[in-house]
Protein backbone atom coordinates (compact mmCIF):
# COMPACT_ATOMS: atom_id res chain seq x y z
CA UNK A 1 0.00 0.00 0.00
CA UNK A 2 2.81 2.41 0.93
CA UNK A 3 4.48 2.28 -2.53
CA UNK A 4 1.11 3.03 -4.16
CA UNK A 5 0.58 6.05 -1.92
CA UNK A 6 4.12 7.23 -2.68
CA UNK A 7 3.50 6.79 -6.42
CA UNK A 8 0.23 8.70 -6.17
CA UNK A 9 1.93 11.67 -4.53
CA UNK A 10 4.86 11.46 -6.96
CA UNK A 11 2.50 11.69 -9.96
CA UNK A 12 0.39 14.38 -8.30
CA UNK A 13 3.48 16.44 -7.59
CA UNK A 14 4.70 16.06 -11.19
CA UNK A 15 1.31 17.25 -12.50
CA UNK A 16 1.14 20.17 -10.11
CA UNK A 17 4.80 21.15 -10.48
CA UNK A 18 4.38 23.96 -13.05
CA UNK A 19 1.60 25.54 -10.98
CA UNK A 20 3.59 25.22 -7.75
CA UNK A 21 6.63 26.84 -9.34
CA UNK A 22 4.51 29.62 -10.82
CA UNK A 23 2.85 30.22 -7.44
CA UNK A 24 6.25 30.26 -5.72
CA UNK A 25 7.59 32.81 -8.20
CA UNK A 26 4.52 35.07 -8.15
CA UNK A 27 3.94 35.05 -4.41
CA UNK A 28 7.45 36.09 -3.38
CA UNK A 29 7.17 38.85 -0.76
CA UNK A 30 9.27 42.00 -0.84
CA UNK A 31 12.51 41.44 1.11
CA UNK A 32 13.20 43.53 4.20
CA UNK A 33 15.89 46.15 3.86
CA UNK A 34 18.75 46.46 6.39
CA UNK A 35 21.69 48.79 6.52
CA UNK A 36 24.96 47.31 5.26
CA UNK A 37 26.35 46.50 8.71
CA UNK A 38 23.19 44.74 9.87
CA UNK A 39 22.93 42.77 6.61
CA UNK A 40 26.59 41.73 6.87
CA UNK A 41 25.88 40.36 10.36
CA UNK A 42 22.83 38.48 9.09
CA UNK A 43 24.86 37.11 6.16
CA UNK A 44 27.51 35.85 8.60
CA UNK A 45 24.88 34.29 10.89
CA UNK A 46 23.28 32.48 7.93
CA UNK A 47 26.52 30.63 7.17
CA UNK A 48 25.51 28.11 9.83
CA UNK A 49 22.11 27.45 8.26
CA UNK A 50 21.08 25.00 5.53
CA UNK A 51 17.51 24.45 4.44
CA UNK A 52 16.78 20.91 3.22
CA UNK A 53 13.89 21.15 0.76
CA UNK A 54 12.66 20.53 -2.75
CA UNK A 55 10.98 22.84 -5.26
CA UNK A 56 7.45 21.46 -5.39
CA UNK A 57 6.96 20.89 -1.68
CA UNK A 58 4.29 23.40 -0.51
CA UNK A 59 5.71 23.49 3.04
CA UNK A 60 9.15 24.25 1.61
CA UNK A 61 7.68 27.05 -0.52
CA UNK A 62 6.15 28.52 2.65
CA UNK A 63 9.55 28.55 4.40
CA UNK A 64 11.42 29.80 1.32
CA UNK A 65 8.99 32.74 1.11
CA UNK A 66 9.92 33.67 4.67
CA UNK A 67 13.62 33.21 3.92
CA UNK A 68 13.20 35.56 0.95
CA UNK A 69 11.16 38.07 2.97
CA UNK A 70 13.79 38.18 5.69
CA UNK A 71 16.58 38.50 3.07
CA UNK A 72 18.50 35.51 4.40
CA UNK A 73 21.28 33.99 2.26
CA UNK A 74 20.62 30.47 3.55
CA UNK A 75 22.17 27.54 1.68
CA UNK A 76 19.52 25.39 -0.02
CA UNK A 77 19.97 21.61 -0.17
CA UNK A 78 17.58 20.06 -2.69
CA UNK A 79 17.01 16.47 -1.58
CA UNK A 80 15.47 15.49 -4.93
CA UNK A 81 18.59 16.50 -6.84
CA UNK A 82 21.27 15.76 -4.28
CA UNK A 83 21.29 12.20 -2.96
CA UNK A 84 24.07 13.03 -0.47
CA UNK A 85 21.88 15.74 1.03
CA UNK A 86 18.96 13.32 1.32
CA UNK A 87 21.17 10.73 2.99
CA UNK A 88 22.58 13.29 5.42
CA UNK A 89 19.07 14.50 6.30
CA UNK A 90 17.86 10.95 6.95
CA UNK A 91 20.90 9.80 8.90
CA UNK A 92 21.64 12.90 10.95
CA UNK A 93 18.24 14.58 11.11
CA UNK A 94 16.42 11.33 11.74
CA UNK A 95 13.82 11.43 8.95
CA UNK A 96 13.58 12.42 5.28
CA UNK A 97 10.81 14.98 5.84
CA UNK A 98 11.26 18.46 4.40
CA UNK A 99 11.51 21.32 5.04
CA UNK A 100 14.22 20.86 7.65
CA UNK A 101 16.59 23.57 8.80
CA UNK A 102 20.06 22.39 9.80
CA UNK A 103 21.46 24.82 12.35
CA UNK A 104 25.10 24.94 13.40
CA UNK A 105 25.74 27.47 16.17
CA UNK A 106 28.95 29.38 16.91
CA UNK A 107 30.18 26.55 19.17
CA UNK A 108 29.59 23.93 16.47
CA UNK A 109 26.45 22.49 18.12
CA UNK A 110 24.01 21.10 15.56
CA UNK A 111 20.23 21.05 15.46
CA UNK A 112 17.86 19.61 12.87
CA UNK A 113 14.66 21.66 12.98
CA UNK A 114 11.61 20.10 11.27
CA UNK A 115 8.11 21.58 10.67
CA UNK A 116 7.60 24.64 8.48
CA UNK A 117 5.82 26.63 11.22
CA UNK A 118 8.65 25.92 13.69
CA UNK A 119 11.29 26.89 11.14
CA UNK A 120 9.53 30.16 10.28
CA UNK A 121 9.14 30.94 14.00
CA UNK A 122 12.84 30.32 14.55
CA UNK A 123 13.82 32.54 11.59
CA UNK A 124 11.49 35.33 12.70
CA UNK A 125 12.76 35.25 16.28
CA UNK A 126 16.37 35.27 15.18
CA UNK A 127 16.28 37.67 12.22
CA UNK A 128 13.06 39.73 12.13
CA UNK A 129 14.10 42.35 14.66
N1 LIG B 1 3.88 19.39 8.88
C2 LIG B 1 5.05 19.41 8.04
C3 LIG B 1 4.72 18.69 6.73
C4 LIG B 1 5.96 18.47 5.87
C5 LIG B 1 5.70 17.47 4.75
O6 LIG B 1 4.66 16.78 4.71
N7 LIG B 1 6.64 17.36 3.84
C8 LIG B 1 6.58 16.38 2.79
C9 LIG B 1 6.95 17.02 1.45
S10 LIG B 1 5.77 18.25 0.92
C11 LIG B 1 7.61 15.30 3.04
O12 LIG B 1 8.75 15.58 3.35
N13 LIG B 1 7.20 14.04 2.93
C14 LIG B 1 8.14 12.93 3.03
C15 LIG B 1 8.32 12.41 4.42
O16 LIG B 1 7.61 12.86 5.34
O17 LIG B 1 9.23 11.59 4.60
C18 LIG B 1 5.51 20.84 7.82
O19 LIG B 1 4.69 21.78 7.98
O20 LIG B 1 6.70 21.05 7.55
For residue 32, give the CATH number of its domain: 3.40.30.10
CA of 126 to the centre of ligand 1 (A): 23
Give how many domains the chain has, as a whole number: 1
pLDDT above 80: residue 116 = yes
- Bridge partners of 114, per DSSP, are 100
Number of H helices, E strands in the chain: 5, 4
Domain span holding position 13: 2-127
75 phi and psi, to 5 degrees?
A: -65, 135
Per-residue burial over 66-97, b = 16 or more CB atoms within 10 Å of its CB, e = otherwise: bbbbbbbebebbebeeeeebbebbeeebeeee
Ligand 1 pocket, mutate which of 10, 14, 20, 59 (most atoms under 8 A from CB):
59
120 CB within 6 A, ligand 1: no
Nearest-CA residue for ligand 1 atom 16 is: 97
Per-residue pLDDT tens over the stretch 7-46:
998 898 889 888 888 988 898 999 999 999 999 999 999 9
Distance CA 56, CA 51 (A): 14
Q: What is the pLDDT of residue 1?
A: 77
Q: What is the pLDDT of residue 81?
A: 96
Amino acid sequence: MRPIIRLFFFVLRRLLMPFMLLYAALSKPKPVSRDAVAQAQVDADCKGLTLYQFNTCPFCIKVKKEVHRLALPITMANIQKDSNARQKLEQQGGKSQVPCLHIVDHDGNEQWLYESAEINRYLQQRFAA
